[in-house]
Structures are given as C-alpha cells and as structure tokens.
Chain A
Amino acid sequence: MTSRTLVAELLIATPLCTAAAAALVPHRLLTRTAALGAELTGAFALALVGITLSHPMQAQVGHWVTVDAAAALLVGVIGLVGVASVLVSPSYLRTMTGSVEHLQRRERGYFCLLFAFWATALAVPLAGNLALAWLLVEGTTATSALLVGFSGKPRALEAGWKYLILTSLGLGIALLGVGLLAADVPRHGLAGLSWPELSRYSGTHQQALVAYLLVLAGLATKIGWAPVHNWLPDAHSEAPPPVSALLSGALLPAALLVAWRVEQALAPVLGREAAQRALIGFGMVSLAVAVPFLWQALAWKRLLAYSSLEHMGVIALGIGFGTPLALAGVAVHIVGHAVAKALGFYAAIPLLDHEPRSGGHAAVGIGRSAPPLGAAMGISLGSLAGLPPSPLFASELLILAGGVASGHALAAAIATVLLALGFLGLAHTLLEVVAGKSRRHNQARPAGLAPVVRLACVSVALLLGLLAVAFTLPSTAFISALMRGAA
C-alpha cells in the first residue's frame, strides 16, 4: 500500500469514525469530538494534497482508489469547507429551539449525518471507477437529503423531498448509462469500469455517445446544471447554512469531477470535440438560466444558490474548452468559489439573528446596521461576482481565454456577455447589502458573528493567495496532470 492510498483511506475513515463517535459520546463531549474529528480529517486532506501535488504527474490509479491531481484539488476543497462547516455548526445549532433532551438528540443526529455526508463527499473524487463513483454520489444523496430537511420546517421538508426525488431519478438515468458502458468494456466487473479501462471502450461511437449523454444528463441533476437544477435553489436555501456550504462548495464540484473523468475516459472513443460539446452546452444553458435570477431581489441564501448554478456553468465551460488556460481557470474557480460561497452561507447564521426577515426577503443595508457582518457578506458576494481582485475574476478570464484558444470563440463571446450580466446583477445586490438603507433589525450583536468574522479573515487571505498563483498556473505540471486525467 502506497502512502497516498494509506492517507486516502485514513481520510475517509476519520469522518466515518467521528460520525460513529458522535452517536456514542456523552453530550458534553459532542462538540469537542466533532471539532477533533474535523481537525484530523482536515490534516489528512492537507497531507494528501501535499503528497499528490509535490509530484502531480505521478498519479496513483487503481480499480478502487485514484489519487491524482484532480482528486487532490477536490479533496483539498472538500476538506477545507468541511472543517469550516463543522467549526461553525455549534453557532447554527444554538439557534434551534425545543426541550433540552430534544435539542441534545438533534445535535447528535446532526453531527452523525454531517460527518457521514462529509466522508462520502470526500470519497467521491478518490473513486477509482465509474460504478464506485456512482454509488458514492448516490450515497451523498441519502445523508444530505436528511440534512436538508433537518430543521423539520415545512419549507425544509419540501426542499429535501425535491432534492431526494429529482437527484435519485437523475442518478437512475446515469446508472442506465453506466450499465450500457459496462456492456462493452473489454474487462467485465468492477475493474472494467475503472477510469483507464473505460477509455478502452469497444462499442461503436454512437453507443458510446448515448451512454455518455445518459451518464452526463443523470449527473447533471446532482451537479445542478440547468435545465435539471430545480432542487438546487430550494435545497441550498433551506438546508442548515454549514450544510449549504458543503453542498455548494464541495458536493457539486465533486459530482462534476465524475462527469469530467467520464468525458476524459471516453474522449478517445467519442472524439474530444463531441465529448466537450455536451459540457459546453450544459455550461451555457446553466449560465443563461442563472443570470435572470441574479438580477432579482432574492433572500440571501437563495441568491447564493442561483450563483452556484452560474458557477457550475462556468466550470462546465472551462472543462468543455479543455485547454491549459481553461483548466487553470477551472482549478482556481473551484477553490475560489468554494471559499467565497462557504463564507456567504456561514454569514447567513448571524444574518438570520440580526434580521430575521432575511430568511424570506433580500438582505439590505447590513453594512450599516452590522458592519462586520456586512463586510463578510460583501467579501463573499464581491468575490462571487468576480469583482477584482477576486480570484474568480482571474479564473473567468482564464476560462474565456481558453475558450478562444480552443476555437470556441462564439461560445466564449456569449459566455462573456452572460458573465457581465451576472456581474451587474450581483454588483447591484452587493451595493444594497453593504450600503443600502437599513431595515428594522435586532439591535443586539448578531449571534454567531465571531466565527464568521474569523473565517472572513482567513477567506480573504486564501482568495488573495489564489489570485497570486492564478496566472502562473497554466504552465505548471499540475495543469498538465489535470489535462492528462486518470485515464
């Protein structure tokens, strides 16, 4: 067993053990156990990223586990967002009401589900074959649906139900595609669906295309690509904020990586252009659907959810363009989006305490009524809008330049217009949040503000660091490793 495989196994085992421990430890030790589990998991994630990125071209590709540059990127992101989500969770749990015994039971259930969800999400990018990746993506649905409906409020139940039914149905369609691929790979069984074996698919071009489109369309429901994104704004807005952060910043790109790996594996059979065109199509439709919503005065978390739709579209475009420039943009975009989006969702905890109406209405004038909270929301929204010096500005620039370089100038031009429109919509909201007229609000210091302010400081450092490396990335070995993939 190599050091990469060992660390990968420890990385998955730690949150699973913490989930089990959360069910067993005395309640007074629950938060500390969760924090310890999160820190250990974060350390293993960091170790795996370090080991892999020190030699990005040396991928560990097996039938069960694959540790390559793309897996390291996603593990780093999921690890980072997961640690932050666990650490801000006590602030969210303190907002719940009920009897002491009832609350203690719910807190225990929350941490068990959160760690189980986190472990499954961490395992997705490390899956060594398509069947295992499908099982893990479906596995995330079971745990995260319960978390979406965790508050038990009617709106949360509605969101959880939609999420469960739509994504399960979509993944059923994807499984049909997996079955079709399994029928024509040289080796049968689990090994036949490993990423390298998948590239040796022996069926016809048309058979491969049908299977690929079924897998892609099915995964699109999980990634939240339009037009099968209906669950996304509901689930992200009704889930507990730490869970929304994990769903948006970690789970969506993890499912997207599976689609990317399938595209890379089948490109020799399908032809690179055909494989990429489907991704560009999903990207353009997602952008076009998201932009009108970014112009609406939506509740904070709902706005962030539509922004996820936009950003998943941007990432799909980058993967579809497939040049070193575009993939460097994709890498920066995945990390930058996760950091900025997670901060935005965490800010919803003090926001709801400060201005309870913001659960259903647009947040206005927070910069005036609660400057630290307004600053955190402003950093998140400014970054997501792509306002310089946000690294998302750099990543979008790289992706669009990559589009032109790959010969998709028209798609890049349309995307530029859509991104500019999206930017204007978010910039207007940013002004309203930071400098708008303040509404009636709770005069006391918002509960749960301190961890959000600390995370805002860390986020600024991370985002600026990301910007510093963004333009040097295209010529690195890391991007060459992303181009090569696991196949």
Chain B
Amino acid sequence: MSGEAVWALVGLGLGVVMVRRRSVAVALVTGQAVVLVGVALAHAKTGGDIIAAIALGARAAALATLLLLLVARSREARPVRAAVAPLARAGLAVGFALLLTWLVSITAVRSHVAYQAVLALVAFGVATVVTRRATLFQVLGIVLVENGLALAALTLPGGSSLVIELGVTLDLTLIALVAALFHERIFAEFGAGDTAALRSLRD
C-alpha cells in the first residue's frame, strides 16, 4: 500500500477531528472512503475482492447521502461548539494515536505503516466521539473507526472473507442509519443536535 494513500487517510481523519462544519466533516470521511475504494481495487485479486470493493463504495455513497441529508434536514443557526478547542482536539487525537501505536507495537504485522494508520484512524474516531458535542460528529467518529477497520481488512495479512466484509459493511451501515434516526429525534426534541442536552441521567 502506497505511503501517499496512508497519509491521505490519516490527514483526512485528522481533519474530521478539527473542522467545525458538519458538511466539511462529511466530505472528509467520504474522501477517506474513496481512497479506501481505490486501495481495495488496487489490491483486488479475485472476483470476491472486487465485489468487496464495490460494497465499500456503495456504503460510502449511501453514508454520504444519508449524512448530507441529515445536515440539510437539521440546519442549526450556529454550529454546536465543541467542549475542546480544535488544536487541543488534534493534539489529544494525535497523542492517543501515538499511545495506541506504542501499546500495540508488539503486534508486528507485515504492512507496519498501514497498521499504524489503522490505529491512528481508530484513535481519531474515539477522540471525535469524546471531544465533540454535536451528535452528527459523534456519528462521524464511529464512521472514522469503521474506515480504520476497513483499512485493516484491506491491509492485514490474510484479510478476511467476502462474507465477513459484506456483513460488516451491512452491519455498520445499519448502525449509522439507526444513529441518523436518533439524531433526527434528538434535533426535533431539543432543537439542536447537541449532546450537552443529553445529561439528565445521572446518579
């Protein structure tokens, strides 16, 4: 796997952690998915690999459509402010990625750089969920983790079977769909897709 593709995936992921506008973040995760489809097609050796790449592309298109539709249907007067400033978020995400890479550095897989990218994307996804208040950004955090896992499936030796890849794609798309439904209900109930409003359940 080329270094450019890896850097593009990591850079786009870091962008999601930092950007303010939801539509820009949706464009960034979709860009990631396009890079992943390219990598999948470049690695494809069998008909099954090509079908898996097509499924990845279909998932990317479906998610982009769904997320942009959500952005359009839940317009907010001003973006929901994150609890942490953009640069601090980026620092946190990169720090977490480095920590994760150090912790699991013993799992020396063949494509070491790609594996570090997988861990970075997972770390960025977790950081997005933790530091962003906007519900849509939390969904995008999960999509970031999913993109990282898709990269893992493409680069880890042996990869996985077509059945598993299609199943995972379907499952994760279903989760994104349910999250979208919740986002709409939360927006309708509270007038904003802001998780700060979701803090009544405490002991």
For A145, the chain B residues whose CB sits under 8 A away are 178, 182
A155, A158, A192: residue with the most chain B Cβ atoms closer than 10 Å: A158
Q: Mark A152-186, 1 if CB is under 8 A from B, else 0.
A: 10110111111011001100110110011011110
A237 to B163, CA, bound (A): 36
> Majority SS of interface residues in chain B?
helix
Tell yes or no: B32 within 8 A of A by CB: no
Looking at chain A, what size class is its interface with the partner chain? 35 or more
B122 touches A158 (CB 8 A): no
A415 to B135, CA, bound (A): 39
For A237, the chain B residues whose CB sits under 8 A away are 201
B164 touches A131 (CB 8 A): yes
Which of B107, B197, B198 contacts A207, CB < 8 Å? B107
Which of A138, A158, A164, A189 contacts B179, CB < 8 Å? A164
Contact A131:B167 (CB < 8 A) given known A161-B186, A168-B142: yes
Which of A138, A169, A183 contacts B156, CB < 8 Å? A183
Tell yes or no: B29 within 8 A of A by CB: no
Which of A179, A193, A207 contacts B106, CB < 8 Å? A207
Which of B141, B153, B163 contacts A169, CB < 8 Å? B141
Which of A157, A169, A234 contacts B145, CB < 8 Å? A169
A164 touches B195 (CB 8 A): no
Q: What distance in Å separates the Cβ of B22 from its nearest Cβ neighbour in chain A?
A: 16
Tell me the residues in window 132-149 of chain A with beta carbons closer than 8 Å to chain B beta carbons. 132, 135, 138-139, 141-142, 145-146, 149
A190 touches B159 (CB 8 A): no
Tell yes or no: A336 within 8 A of B by CB: no
B168 touches A175 (CB 8 A): yes
A172 touches B125 (CB 8 A): yes
A238 touches B201 (CB 8 A): yes
Tell yes or no: B63 within 8 A of A by CB: no
A-B pairs under 8 A by CB, number? 141
Q: What distance in Å separates the Cβ of B2 from its nearest Cβ neighbour in chain A?
A: 20
Across the interface, name the chain B residue whose C-beta is closest to A135: B167
Tell yes or no: B174 within 8 A of A by CB: yes
B149 touches A175 (CB 8 A): yes
A204 to B108, CA, bound (A): 10
Q: What distance in Å separates the Cβ of A163 from its nearest Cβ neighbour in chain B?
A: 10
Across the interface, name the chain B residue whose C-beta is closest to A299: B203
B126 touches A183 (CB 8 A): no
Q: What distance in Å separates the Cβ of B1 from its nearest Cβ neighbour in chain A?
A: 15
Q: What distance in Å separates the Cβ of A296 from its nearest Cβ neighbour in chain B?
A: 7
B201 touches A161 (CB 8 A): no
Across the interface, name the chain B residue whose C-beta is closest to A180: B107
A211 to B103, CA, bound (A): 12
Q: What distance in Å separates the Cβ of B72 from its nearest Cβ neighbour in chain A?
A: 21
Q: What distance in Å separates the Cβ of A75 from its nearest Cβ neighbour in chain B?
A: 22
Q: Mark B129-162, 1 if CB is under 8 A from A, else 0.
A: 1000001001001100110110011001111110
For B163, the chain A residues whose CB sits under 8 A away are 189-190
B171 touches A165 (CB 8 A): no
Across the interface, name the chain A residue whose C-beta is closest to B122: A176
Tell yes or no: B104 within 8 A of A by CB: yes
A188 touches B200 (CB 8 A): no
Which of B118, B164, B197 contacts A176, CB < 8 Å? B118
Tell yes or no: B99 within 8 A of A by CB: no
Contact A169:B142 (CB < 8 A) given known A162-B198, A206-B107: yes
Tell yes or no: A261 within 8 A of B by CB: no
- 5 pairs, A vs B, C-beta closer than 8 Å: A142-B177, A157-B182, A189-B164, A192-B158, A207-B107
A-B contacts besides A135-B164, A160-B182, A180-B107, 4 pairs, CB < 8 Å: A142-B177, A158-B198, A169-B141, A175-B168
The 4 closest A-B pairs by CB, nearest first: A189-B161, A158-B198, A172-B145, A188-B158
